[in-house]
Amino acid sequence: MRWLLVAVVTVVLLLFAMIVAPQVIGDKGYVLISMGQWNIEMTVVSLAITIVVAFIVWWVIKRLLSRSFNLLRGSRQWLGGRSRRKRQRAFFRGMQAMAEGEFEEAKQAFTRTTDGDFDGVNYLAAAQVARQLNEPQRVRYLLEQATEYPHSRIAATLVLARMDLEEGQAEAAQKRLDALDEKSANHPQVVRLKAESMARLGQWQALQNRLSQWRKPLADDYVHWAQRVAKGKFSEIASKQGANQLKQYWEDLPRKLRHDDAYRAAYIQQLMDQGMHSDAQQCLIEWQKKGPNPVLMPLFKQINLPNASSSIKLLETWIKQESNNAELYSTLGHIAFHAGDDVLAEKALLKAIKLSENQTDLLILATISERRDDNLQALALYKQGVALREQEVVAGNVQ
């Protein structure tokens, strides 16, 4: 408004000067405007008045047009805002209905959000509802729509890949995950599903090559996957080429892999699966000279040899160092039981359950009692084991 006030004052002063000056000097001035056959004659004062009037008319028209455009824009924004609020209410109602288990109502609500700006979250939620309603084709359609939104692309792709794996389409899942950009490809869940699809396709060597790059995103699952890869590779070699070739393959592995606990555990497990318990025992003892290894030590329980004195001696040495370790007593009991030494097995397992009850230990003790025809004791131990199992199930459900 300030510029308008200045302009008006300037025009008024100019007009005043143009009117007064001719009167002072006695000459009103003369203006001729010729356009073809048109001639316009007027005094300077008339020209000045015409210019001022034209300026005022122009300004009024401009203001009217500006207000009209603003009114139209405001109406459009108001209508758009009203539609946006309707979609938001439908989205919130859909989420509430989904939480309440009213899936049909949720489905109807989400159908009214398709034009909304929800970054694809509305499609993800609608897909979840469709899954609850057992509409797999609709689930896939909605998830495909969600992949069009950058913020929902990973989530939608993960769900689609899981569906592919559930339907036995590991190759489709792998292809879908490989299509993600480099940043998304390092997402922990993407890496896990890639590993799963490769495992199901039997791509053990390729998975082994990628595993070292995935150590960080796999985090605590790295050992599990390293074991699974090694087991898959070892199983493939043992089934096609035999146990001797398996041992040779192990010797030919890089030193880094031969010192990896996950690979060692998988190798020992494969030896036992091939019935080579003596070789497995030798490896377990050799690789745990410095003390029990949390990855390898549990495998002792599977050792099934008539003469397992080497393993028993090692366990007894560890027990002397940790006399209140229930797991060590339990492991010793399992080895002795498989070796047919019921006396040592019972002694060790009774100590183990005294420190920490374990259903498997209780069942082995019940079997030992049956062997010596102590049926009452065996029944009591069986019941104790079943009761412990039920307690664990209840505790798991509560959690």
Could you please report the per-residue DSSP string of 328-355? Answer: HHHHHHHHHHHTT-HHHHHHHHHHHHHH
Q: Which of 251, 220, 222, 219 is CA-nearest to residue 234?
A: 251
Question: If you search the block for the tokens 């029944």, which residue do you land on?
Answer: 379
Among 7-16, 31-40, 182-191, 358-367, the range scoring the smallest mean pLDDT is 7-16
Q: Helix, strand, or coil here: 182?
A: helix
pLDDT, tens only, 135-145: 999 999 999 99
Tell me, what DSSP letter sits at residue 42? E
Tokens of 131: 């899954």
Residues 160, 140 contacting (CB under 8 angstroms): yes
Q: Which of 348, 343, 253 is CA-nearest to residue 300?
A: 348
Q: How many CB atoms lie within 10 A of CB 23?
A: 10
For residues 147 and 240, give the distance between their C-alpha atoms in angstroms, rounded to a whole number.
Answer: 42
Confidence of residue 4 (pLDDT cuts 50, 70, 90): low
Tell me, what DSSP letter sits at residue 104? H
Question: If you search the block for the tokens 């025809």, which residue do you land on?
Answer: 373
Give the per-residue pLDDT at 79.
45
pLDDT, tens only, 110-153: 888 876 577 888 889 889 999 999 999 999 999 999 999 888 99
Beta strand ranges found along the chain (DSSP E): 31-35, 38-42
Task: Name the more confident of 19 and 39.
Answer: 39
Tokens of 379: 């029944």
What is the pTM for the complete model shown?
A: 0.61
Residues 285, 314 contacting (CB under 8 angstroms): yes
Average pLDDT value for residue range 168-183: 92
Residues 165, 196 contacting (CB under 8 angstroms): yes
Domain boundaries, the chain: 205-275
For residues 214 and 187, give the distance between their C-alpha atoms in angstroms, rounded to a whole number.
Answer: 10
Q: Which of 262, 328, 256 is CA-nearest to residue 295?
A: 262
Give the per-residue pLDDT at 342.
93
Tokens of 84: 């946006």
Tell me the one-letter amino acid at 180: L
